[in-house]
Amino acid sequence: MVLVFLALCIFAAFVLHPMYIITTALFVRKLQQPPPTNENAVWPRVSVLVCVRGVDPSLLRTLERLMRQDYPDYELRVVVDSTQDHAWPQVQALARSSGVKIDVQPLRQRLRTCSLKCSALVQMIDELDPRSEVIALCDSDLDIGEDWLRKLVAPLADPQIGAVTGIRWFRPRRGQFGSNLRKLWVNLSTIWQAITNSPWGGSLAIRRSAFEQADLAQLWRQSIVDDTPVRMALAQLGLRVYATPALIVPSSEECTLPFAFNFVSRQLMWLRLYDPIWSVIQLHALDTLGAAAVPAVMAVVAFLVGDLELAAITGSLFVLYLLTIGVCVRVIDAVVDNRLAARELPPNGDSWLRAVREAAALLALPFFHVATVVNTSSRQQIDWRGVKYLIHSPTQIELIEDRPWQLETSEHSI
């Protein structure tokens, strides 16, 4: 039996390690490719939509950057969860003092058939400027530059592209254990998101004509998430989503381990509901179990019972996994940091404590990944920023508990 397990672990390693190396190489190649440009210099009018619930650490900075975009023709619309939300007076004060027109409204209709974020988006869609040709979504917790909108809209000059998405990247400055785990999981999954051109709602521009043809507003009225259904809807129109390497959007926020677990479980839930790649993710989790988690456990058990030969073999498999992931992470971090160098972002630092935390997160990553996939596989209820949803099917969402968000300042994004 032990030999069978060992053979399966070795097979899993030979599948998993080349996959990480190949996808890392494809990601690096993607970042080196020049994105499509707007050579005609005709910039369509854009409606930028932002949903706010609670005061994220970078909320006001994000809105200030959005109000100073180097873009010739756009409007900025913000929907805050309610007038009792602590973000409401702060956003209102910013809007009054900015000198830039910004439409700020509370969420008026809290649909019971979708997430509150989708409710807010539908409200803004219903009131769009008729002159707008592009709809752009932006999360309220991002570190964006003043060229964010130009980079996001430019590839739409290609008529075959129906939507353009930025590339999400976590780079926590302090590097708490939960933050590092989330960074590793999200950034490694971002490699796949970038090379497969999967939409991310944090920075997403959609051609308005395609949006209306696909009736995305109706899809949002029955969806828990805004971005994942976009690709399939546009594919039915013969259009594609493009992840632009010109727009890597960093986030430096920290989080605890429980928050990281719930965050990743939510991301997996969206894929389980709306993306056929979910079966591939399950196979990847099984492969990770065989190539890393099981060998680690077997090595410890074998060492404790005195089987040093088996401990050496299984331990070597786990070390090989750590080396493969560690090298891939270092490569993509270096490439992305080089792309972000012009942004003058605060340095993360390389203290010994940070290095120890990153190493601990790397050791825990395979167990964390398998646990989140298992948790998501049978999960029917989601708690998202104090709101509970019951998910009967991808198009049957029930808001079952809606509590006001009480925290004045949140450590985490919505």
Residue 413 covered by a domain: no
- Distance, CA of 54 to CA of 405 (rounded, Å): 6
Residue 205 covered by a domain: yes
The per-residue pLDDT for 62 is 92
Phi, psi of 395, deg, nearest 5: -115, 10
Residue 21 covered by a domain: yes
Tens-place pLDDT, residues 73-116:
999 999 999 999 999 999 999 888 876 778 999 999 999 999 99
Residue 134 covered by a domain: yes
Residue 412 covered by a domain: no
Q: Which of helix, strand or coil describes residue 394?
A: coil
The per-residue pLDDT for 408 is 43
Alpha helices in 306-394 (DSSP H): 308-340, 352-377
The per-residue pLDDT for 410 is 44
Dihedral sign of CA atoms 177, 182, 183, 188 in order: positive
The per-residue pLDDT for 348 is 59
Tokens of 167: 């590339």
Tens-place pLDDT, residues 35-62:
776 666 789 999 999 999 988 888 999 9
- Distance, CA of 166 to CA of 199 (rounded, Å): 8
Contacts 24+ apart (CB under 8 A), 130-134: 131/45, 132/44, 132/45, 132/46, 132/47, 132/75, 132/208, 133/44, 133/45, 133/46, 133/207, 133/208, 133/209, 134/44, 134/45, 134/46, 134/47, 134/205, 134/206, 134/207, 134/208
- Distance, CA of 153 to CA of 179 (rounded, Å): 31
How many whole angstroms from its chain centre is CA 97? 32
The per-residue pLDDT for 8 is 60
The per-residue pLDDT for 414 is 44
Residue 216 covered by a domain: yes
The per-residue pLDDT for 142 is 87
- Distance, CA of 32 to CA of 142 (rounded, Å): 23
The per-residue pLDDT for 13 is 67
How many residues in the chain? Answer: 414
81 neighbors 91 (Cβ within 8 angstroms): no
| CATH number for the domain harbouring residue 121 | 3.90.550.10
Residue 34's contacts (CB-CB under 8 Å, 6 or more residues apart) are none
Q: Which of helix, strand or coil describes residue 381?
A: strand
Residue 414 covered by a domain: no
Number of H helices, E strands in the chain: 14, 10
CB atoms within 10 A of CB 82: 15
Residue 257 covered by a domain: yes
Domain that holds residue 62: 1-36+44-407
Burial of 305 (0-12, 13-18, 19+ CB in 10 A): exposed
Task: Please list the ranges in the chain whose pLDDT falls under 70.
Answer: 1-14, 37-40, 99, 342-352, 405-414
Domain count, the chain: 1
- Beta strand 46-52 with 74-80 is parallel
H/E element holding 163?
A: strand 161-170
